[in-house]
Amino acid sequence: MRIHRLELKNFRNFEHTIFDFPERFTVLVGDNGTGKTAILDGLAVGVGALFLNFNNVDSRHIRDDEVRRVEYEKRQIPTVEPQYPVSVSCDGIIDGQEITWTRKLNKAGGRTTRKQATKITNISEQLQVKVSQGSDLLLPLVTYYGTGRLWLQKNKRSIQTVKPNSRMIGYLDCLDPASNQKLMLRWFKTMEIVALQRKQSIEVLDAVKEAIAKCIENWQSVTYDILEDELLAKSMDGRTLPFRMLSDGVRNMLAMVADIAYRAAVLNPQLGRDAAQQTPGVVLIDEIDLHLHPKWQRGVVDDLKKTFPNIQFVATTHSPFIIQSLREGELINLDKPAEIEEYENKSIEDITEYVMGVDIPQRSERYQKMMEAAEEYYRVLQEAQEANPEKIEQLKTKLDKLIEPFSDDVAYHAFLRMERKAAGLGGEKK
């Protein structure tokens, strides 16, 4: 499964916009409010159409709060009007077929249509039938990790084992941006017990463990301890810690990688140890840099590509280190949508300034404000040379206001006071 193009009409803040995605990895950047998460939500609606004819798998519909709204003013009275129809259209490959499909919401309180999504629903029906017949077909993985993935957990109770179930269980909650680690942990615990009982390794469990070890920096292995009833991680230096005691960054990445690998193993158990490597699909990640140290941010994109070579990732970020790791064509800059560049050989300072719009990133914001205040201070001193007494008193007040925010910097403060005295304007007003 691959998504080549997404077209949004009246969806969230987009009146009509088209986005093209490369085959492996896309990162969305832009100021807050430009629509990064909205694009992920639009993709979730698009890929969610795959589930329309699956048994017991929820699709993702267009919600009423995702309708674009336009403000008008009539004789000083503001109004807000929802814009219909709302549509999400995708071009892509599913089950080896190049298809286009559209889902719409035509009115308030209406249902998301499937009339223009017959091609994908036909594929969906065929996949469901083949799974029911025990076919070894390759199911695509689809999942969405939102910014609340570390905190918005489902009910926390003791981890139960799972009974044999349909392969389709690999789609359960997959488009819910909140994390549901319990599904993965229950499967992990069950597979560890099965391995102990049968006294042999379980290939799909090994596939998940290998994916975690390959993608999680400085942590070489994970195992589910039956006695402790929790997931344990072993670091390169020999430490073993329960999952709940890991740092936020490690927990976040470990849970996400384990969840992707677990879903691949459940959807395609016929692949055995190769499930993570050979399963195709689409993974959406909001703020891929969430809680990660900058050193890890620089390598996380390549780590995910290496661990899941057949997955198409679409992610958002605010990190220049993530941007620096991208290849040409892998960045969509919502602040400069027409710009296509290669950032791998650019400095962090250049990326921060020219891509992310941060002025003079080499200096702190406070330093820049101090310089601006000093420059304005000198302009006021010059202006005071030719001012009348009344104006001079006003300028003295202005000088006090300019210097006051930086009174904790003794050297800076003392130097400007000396300049003020030299200009004949005396000390600060009391």
> What pLDDT does 392 receive?
74
> What pLDDT does 177 receive?
72
For residue range 156-204, list pLDDT tens digits in order: 456 888 888 899 999 998 998 765 678 888 898 999 999 999 999 999 9
> What pLDDT does 124 receive?
95
> What pLDDT does 152 receive?
43
Cα torsion 384, 387, 393, 395: sign: negative
> What pLDDT does 340 receive?
54
Among 186, 74, 56, CA closest to 128? 56
> What pLDDT does 153 receive?
47
Q: Residue 119: exposed, middle, or buried by beta-carbon count in 10 A (0-12, 13-18, 19+)?
A: middle
Q: pLDDT means per 10 residues in the chain (430 residues)? A: 97 96 94 92 96 93 96 90 97 95 95 95 95 95 85 57 90 80 86 91 91 82 87 87 85 88 94 95 94 84 94 94 88 76 62 62 63 78 79 77 77 77 67
> What pLDDT does 358 receive?
59
> What pLDDT does 347 receive?
65
> What pLDDT does 63 receive?
95
> What pLDDT does 59 receive?
92
Q: Residue 300: exposed, middle, or buried by beta-carbon count in 10 A (0-12, 13-18, 19+)?
A: buried
Residue ranges per domain, the chain?
142-280, 365-422
Cα torsion 240, 244, 247, 252: sign: positive
> What pLDDT does 272 receive?
94
Give φ, ψ of 27 to 5 degrees: -120, 130
